Amino acid sequence: MGLLSFLSKDILHYDKFSGKLAKQNKKTRFRNVLSGKSKQWGLAALTDKESINIFADLIRSKLGLYRAIAVKIVHSAADADDAVQSALLKAWNRRTSFRSDPAALSGWISRIVVTESYDLLRKKIREQKKLALYRPDGDDTENPALCRLDDAIAALPELYRETIHIAVLSELDGESAARELGCSANTLYQRIHKAKKLLKEALRRNEDE
């Protein structure tokens, strides 16, 4: 066997060994992250490439859910896309602050989608109020009852507002909604019950005023 062939075979064997070792190290790192043995936790413990892969998988599997949540808030497919895009960008920029179980990442992003959707909605409302100054009297086709319900949901404490949008309006099943919100099914049902009670009280107060 010539020297070149020997070196090529040796290098090939080394590359295979290095690749195997890298995979083992990667698996060990993921196990440490999940078990809490790592000094870092969540996405902060992963490389940018690994984080990109996780985000790409989430976008492929959860984009429909994120859009459904946003549409229920902003009532517009185009605005929902803007809100989701803004939320995903914000989540990516804040990824190192996510220090929880990677399985809870989707729920974390869902909550950012809710926040970004409400921010966009408030901006739209401010713009509509400015336009209303130039609108002829009586030219308002919005449903007053629906507007009151939207306002009541928006005024809920954040925990219950997220519960309504993710567990009720998104049409997820109970198990999936609980997973998104990072709680047990029993806790989720308690939150839904409390949120509905708060909504009824708010709507009743509006009727009395």
Tens digits of residue pLDDT in 27-45: 454 444 444 444 444 676 6
Give the total number of structural domains in the chain. Answer: 1
Phi, psi angle pair for 141, to nearest 5° = -95, 5
In a domain, 13, yes or no: no
Residues 51, 59: contact at Cβ < 8 Å? no
In a domain, 185, yes or no: yes
The CATH number given to whatever domain includes residue 191 is: 1.20.140
* DSSP states along 120-178: HHHHHHHHHHHHHTTSPTT-----HHHHHHHHHHHTS-HHHHHHIIIIIIT---HHHHH
In a domain, 31, yes or no: no
pLDDT classification of 46: cutoffs 50, 70, 90 = confident
Chain Cα centroid distance, residue 23 = 29
pLDDT given at position 209: 65
106 Rama sector, left if φ>0, alpha if ψ -120 to 50, beta otherwise: alpha
Write out the residue range of the structural domain in which residue 117 sits.
Answer: 58-208
Instruction: Please tell me what DSSP assigns to residue 96.
Output: G
Residues 206, 148: contact at Cβ < 8 Å? yes
Tens digits of residue pLDDT in 50-72: 888 888 888 889 999 999 999 98
pLDDT given at position 10: 37
